[in-house]
Structure formats: structure tokens, C-alpha cells
Amino acid sequence: MNEPFNGESYREPVTEIVKKRKLWRNIFVLNLCVSLLLVGIFWLPAKLVDLDDFLKSPSVNVPGEGEMAEKSDDKPEPAPKSPTNLMSTQLTTINASSEKEFVYFDFSSGKPVKILDRSSLEWDLAFRRGKVISNGGASSQLGQAGLIDLGTVEFDSVVEVPRDSYVQDSAARTETENPVLIKWYNYNYLTHKLTAKQNIYGIRTANGKFAKFQFLSFYCDNQEAGCIKMRYVYQDSGSNSFLRTEGVFAITSSETASLPLESATSF
């Protein structure tokens, strides 16, 4: 026989209630994690790019409504004047988009060169995508090439480079590298793009001459990676100075003879 109704409604067992609460809590946590993941994938990168563009933009003080912009008493500092007798700057683009083969560049000709032997003195720098090596040290038995980082200075303000203290290539785990040019670029983790740093570099070439150069970009016209654009000044006289005077190049205190002027195309 059925037990008499005692006036109390049926109550679900406590264990079932706990299970349901746990299930709903897990569903809520899962939905929250999915939502945060979607925000991280789609919304956050776009906002970080906007923030990066904002931080890189020049700051402007805009007067409020009804206010007059105050005239600053600070006079802008005049831009440093570049010497008028600088050697001409050259511009070149090297297609080093191959992920396997190096492209060898010679400063004296201003062009990539094909070589049969890596110990040849016919090249100064070699490029493979973002990797750059020089013709000296561990990369070459005969080359004298070495590099020096001159910092983020104005290109035309570098009127001469040091004669020594150049860093040559060294052996890495699998191949050679030059410590000066391991990170000649900045990498954007949001866009996965490389941007050339503004640093100026000095180089002692494979045959002991001098040049200065600066990387400008890393992308080809079709946006493919590996087209390295740079500007440079090459001094083939043996001087470490990039100044010239009427009829002769300017020489440093360590030199004793005047050297003939060499013509060059303008940048």
C-alpha cells in the first residue's frame, strides 16, 4: 500500500542538486573561457595595433573649447647641418628572399656577385632572408671584413668610421653569424612583420676598405619578405673618412697622402 501523504512535497536528493550545480558551473566556466579566447584572438590584437600606432604618433596638445593655445617660449633647436663635402650616398635593394641560398654583395661594385669559393675576397656581406654575415672571421679564412654598430645617429653625421674594433663573424651551433647584425630589425609579434632598426653600421670590407650603411626595409614590392633595401657610402681609397674636398678626399690624421676624388651617383 502507498504510504499516506504527510503534507510534505517531494524533495530531490541532495547529491543530485550538487551534481546539477557543478554542471552549470562548469558550463559557465567553459563559456567564459571561450569568450575570453575569442576576445584574445579577434579584438585584443586590433586594439594593441591601434595602441602601438597611437604611441608612435607625435603628441599634440589641443586647447580646450574657449581656450587659446599658449605660445611656447622654447625655440626649436636647429637641425644639425650636414657637411657639404660628403661623398654621395648610394641606394640598393638586394633580393635575398631565398630561404636556402645566400646572396653575396660587393660594396666596391654596388651589386650582388656570384662566387665559387666563399673564401674569395669578391664579396663583403651575404644575405639570406633576415640573416646577414660578413666576409671575415669564421665565415671566411682570407676576408678581413668586420662590423661595428654606430648607433641611432643621423646617417650624414657619420663622416668617418673607426679603423679598428670591428667584430668579425663567429661560429654558431649550425653556421656562422655576426653578433652585430643578429638583430638588425624589430619583430612585431602581432603583425609578424620585420622593421629595420635605424642604426648605422660601419664595415671594414673583405680587402680592408671602409663603408657605412643603413638598412631601410625588408620587403619586396609584392610584399614578399627578403628584399633588403639599404643605403651606403663606400670609400675605396683606403681612408676611413667619407668627406671630400675640391679635387681630393679629406683624409684622417692617420693618413699622410692626398687621394684622388672619385665620382659617384647621388642618393
Give the burial class of 138: count Cβ atoms within 10 A of its Cβ; 0-12 exposed, 13-18 middle, 19 or more buried.
Answer: middle
Give the least confident one: 4-8, 53-57, 123-127, 207-211.
53-57
Are 208 and 144 in contact by the 8 Å Cβ rule? The answer is yes
Kindly report the CA angle at 214 between 132 and 99, in degrees rounded to 5?
25
Does residue 201 belong to any structural domain of this protein?
A: yes
What residue numbers bound the domain in which 205 lies? Answer: 90-260
Selected residue with higher pLDDT from 59 and 188: 188
How buried is residue 198: exposed, middle or buried, by Cβ count under 10 Å (0-12/13-18/19+)? middle
Q: pLDDT tier at 57 (50, 70, 90 boundaries)?
A: very low
pLDDT at 190 (0 to 100)? 85
**What is the mean predicted confidence (pLDDT) over 79-93?**
83
Q: Indicate the DSSP class of residue 52.
A: H
What's the pLDDT tens digit per position in 132-150?
Answer: 999 999 999 899 999 999 9
3-state secondary structure of 35: helix
Q: Please report whether residue 175 resides in a domain.
A: yes
Q: Report d(CA 137, CA 127) in Å as an integer.
A: 16
Q: Are residues 143 and 23 in the same domain?
A: no
Q: Residue 204 is inside which H or E element, if any? A: strand 200-204
Q: Are residues 230 and 152 in the same domain?
A: yes
Q: Tens of pLDDT along 197-232?
A: 999 999 999 999 999 999 999 999 888 999 999 999
pLDDT interval class at 104 (50, 70, 90): very high
Q: Are residues 29 and 119 in the same domain?
A: no
| Residue 4 belongs to a domain | no
pLDDT above 60 (res 51): no
Q: Look at the chain and report how many structural domains it folds into.
A: 2
Residue, of 172 and 81, whose pLDDT is higher:
172
Report if residue 77 sits inside a domain. no
Same domain, 176 and 95: yes
pLDDT surpassing 70 at residue 253 = no
Judgement on whether residues 116 and 187 belong to the same structural domain of the protein? yes
Q: Is the pLDDT of residue 265 over 50?
A: no
pLDDT higher for 46 or 179? Answer: 179
Residue 61, pLDDT score: 41
**Does any domain span residue 164?**
yes
Edge-first strand listing for the sheet containing 210-219: 90-95, 225-235, 210-219, 200-204, 146-151
Per-residue three-class SS string for 215-259: EEEEECCCCCEEEEEEEEEEECCCCCECEEECCEECCCCCCCCCE
Do 103 and 39 lie in one domain? The reply is: no
pLDDT at 62 over 60: no
The C-alpha R_g of the chain, in whole angstroms, comes to: 31
Q: Cell 620585420 belongs to which residue?
A: 194
Q: Are residues 122 and 36 in the same domain?
A: no
State whether 151 and 24 are in the same domain. Answer: no
